[in-house]
Amino acid sequence: MKHPRPQSVLLAATFLFGASAASAAELNIYTTREPGLIQPLLDSFTAETGTKVNTVFLKDGLAERVVAEGESSPADILMTVDAGNLVDLTEKGVTQAIESTALTEAVPEQLRDANGHWYALSMRARVLYAAKDLDLADFNYEDLADPKWKGKVCIRSGQHPYNTALIADYIAHYGAEETEKWLAGVKDNLARKAAGGDRDGAKDILGGICDVAIANSYYVGLMRSGRGGEEQVAWGNGIKVVLPTFKNGGTQVNISGAAVAKHAPNKAEAVKLLEYLVSDNAQKIYAEANFEYPVKPGAAADPIIASFGELKIDSKPLVEVVSHRKQASELVDKVGFDN
């Protein structure tokens, strides 16, 4: 979902972060998150603490920019979507470990770096969209390869990061050999070529092309709420959502998250913001802004998302899942999934 980008967000960091950047009353964020999704959170933090938050939106090249700036970088917090991006930032040496009881208590262990370099702030689940007349109360990811679903499954490209993450999680559970067999079975069950977006799965179920689709949870909120346009309301209301799990695990999730930059000039304020972002108030804003799941146990999801039932997060650490992504991508090509 696109949002207008505030002009100030797109200005160069050197313009935004002047001599006052080192002030304890200011905080500087580099982010790949759409400004419209995080601005309500930053405004709320400023209102509560008085700390001014400057933001630079970067569509890509976040790690490369911080590396190039070196010790003179004004960035305090690096905020991004996808666990792989957070792991990449850590591996490139542009983050630092922090200790925070508030963060470790609020963020489940598998959703944060073991050494405290990054923390999840919100989640989206890879769920099953299903035709409303299907008698289907539960589902396992393994079932997608069951021949009974032949010609009934819709999904976007296997090379899309949403799907390589799911495939990588499958590898973490079963290994590459079993994952290849499963992936070939899923391909055999496709109702159409693996293509389009997640919302196309809902549209095609409503259109009778497929019975089930794999897609992200938050799109249902966007469709049913009308934020995606009037046509998409029918797509969202025309499906039901099942929270699939691995037979020996839970539901696959991905995250948005953040890390404190290695040379953060305002480290104390950066930690305070991360702690605020896992507070009850901020987690509620996350839930309302983009229909994301809160990471904090017990925090309320948006009613549309909560209607799916209780989310049982898969136990595999995201760091382990991310380590299998290259192999997942190779398997997609090996079985010709997108052909």
> What's the pLDDT at 28?
97
Q: Kindly list the averaged pLDDT for each block of 10 residues, start to end, along the chain of length 339.
A: 39 40 73 88 95 93 95 97 94 97 97 97 97 94 98 98 97 98 98 98 98 98 94 97 97 97 97 97 91 94 96 96 97 97
> What's the pLDDT at 243?
98
> What's the pLDDT at 327?
98
Contact assessment for residue 257 and residue 31, using Cβ atoms and an 8 Å cutoff: no
Nearest CA to 100 out of 119, 82, 81 is that of 119
> What's the pLDDT at 35?
81
Q: Per DSSP, which regions of the chain are E strands?
A: 26-31, 52-57, 77-81, 95-96, 119-131, 153-154, 212-216, 239-242, 253-261, 293-294
286 belongs to an annotated ligand binding site: no
> What's the pLDDT at 106?
97
The greatest distance separating any two alpha carbons of the chain, rounded to the nearest whole angstrom, comes to 65
Global pTM exceeds 0.85: yes
Enter the DSSP assignment of 313. B
- Catalogue all structural domains in the chain, each as residue range(s) with its CATH number: 7-123+254-300 (3.40.190.10), 124-251+313-334 (3.40.190.10)
What are residue 69's phi and psi, to 5 degrees? -75, -25
Amino acid at 115: N
> What's the pLDDT at 170?
98
